[in-house]
Each structure stands twice: as structure tokens, then as C-alpha cells.
Copies of this chain bind each other. A is one copy, B any other.
Amino acid sequence: MKKIEAIIKPFKVDDIKEALNEIGIKGMTLTEVKGYGRQKGHKEIYRGAEYVVDFIPKVRIEVVVEDEQAEQVVGTIREAANTGKIGDGKIFVIPVEDVVRVRTGERGPEAV
């Protein structure tokens, strides 16, 4: 299995969620985070105002899927998150060795 971690602009959460629903993704986890990428010291737009890029609010979306779905999830998030402006985000793919569904005790791919 893989964990896809995407750090994206907060206003894009709904679009990404919809896009993931359309490809059948059934679970995800969101965290409020802050960050910056390569433009530290330059300007990035947040809520219509320009900020010098230091730490800007972002959302981390995490989706754990079977190996075969990982590439599609990455592509779907990338497309939905993209505005063409700086700060659109980063996507990281991390290996997951096991998954457990607490209620049922299922493990591995069927637990995802």
C-alpha cells in the first residue's frame, strides 16, 4: 500500500475531495499545517492578500490506497490542486507496510 500525502492550498480541499470521490476513494484524513516551499522571502497570495512567504496555512490531505491506485490518486490530486500559481503544493508518496481496520480487524489491502 502507499500513503499519498499532499500539502495543498486550503481553498482547494473541496475540489480535491470531489475529484477523489469520483475515482472511488473512500477514505482520507486532513490536517491543518503551515509551510513554505521555494519562494521564501517572495510573495504568495493567501485569501486574496499577498504575503511574504514565510509560513503560510496549508492543508495536508492523506490517502492510503493499494499500490495499483496510487498513480491515479497522485494524478487526480495534482490536477485538482493546480492553479498555475506558486504555492500550489507538493505530493509525497510513502510506503505503507500494513493497514488495519479497527472495527472489523481486517488487514492489508482489503482494510484500506
Instruction: Identify the A interface with B (CB < 8 A).
Output: 2-3, 6-8, 21, 26-38, 40, 55, 58, 60, 64, 74, 77-78, 81-103, 105, 111
CB <8 Å contact, B78 and A92: no
Q: Which B residues are in CB contact (< 8 Å) with A38?
A: 26-27
Q: State how many copies of this chain the complex holds.
A: 3
Most buried by B among A33, A88, A94, A99: A94
The distance from the CB of A66 to the nearest CB of chain B, in whole angstroms, is: 13
Which listed residue, B87, B89, B91, B99, touches A92 by the CB 8 Å rule?
B99
Q: Which B residues are in CB contact (< 8 Å) with A87?
A: 103
Which listed residue, B28, B40, B98, B111, touches A21 by the CB 8 Å rule?
B40
Q: Which B residues are in CB contact (< 8 Å) with A86?
A: 103
Alpha-carbon separation in the docked complex, A32 to B112 (Å): 21
